[in-house]
Amino acid sequence: MADYAKVLTELQQERSRLDQAIEAIGKLVGKFRGSNANGPKRKISPAARRRIAAAQRARWAKWKSEHGKKAA
C-alpha cells in the first residue's frame, strides 16, 4: 500500500505551486486587461455606415447582374 500521508503532502505541495502560478498569471492578465491587443475599437459614423452599405449593395448588384439567376 502507498503511504497516503506522503501522497497527500506531495499533492498539497503541487497545489501550492499551482496556486502561485495561477496568481502570477492572474496578475499579468490584470495588467493587460484594460488594453486591447488590436488597438481601441473605432466607432463608425452613421454616414459612413450608409456609404459602406451602399457600396456593398452596388457590389452585390454588379455580381448578380454578371452571374444572373441560376435555373433551379
Lookup result for grid cell 502570477: 24
C-alpha cell at 28: 499579468
The three three-digit cell numbers of residue 33, written as one number = 486587461
Q: Per residue in 33-57, pLDDT tens?
A: 655 556 677 899 999 999 999 999 9
CA dihedral over 61, 63, 64, 68, signed as positive or negative: positive
pLDDT averaged over every residue in the chain? 86
Name the DSSP letter for residue 36: -
What residue segments make up the domains of the chain, in order of their start?
1-30
- pLDDT tens digits, one per residue of 9-41: 999 999 999 999 999 988 888 766 655 556 677
Dihedral angle sign, alpha carbons of residues 14, 16, 12, 18: negative
Does the model's pTM come out above 0.85? Answer: no
Angle at the Cα of 29 from the Cα atoms of 23 and 30, rounded to 5 degrees: 85
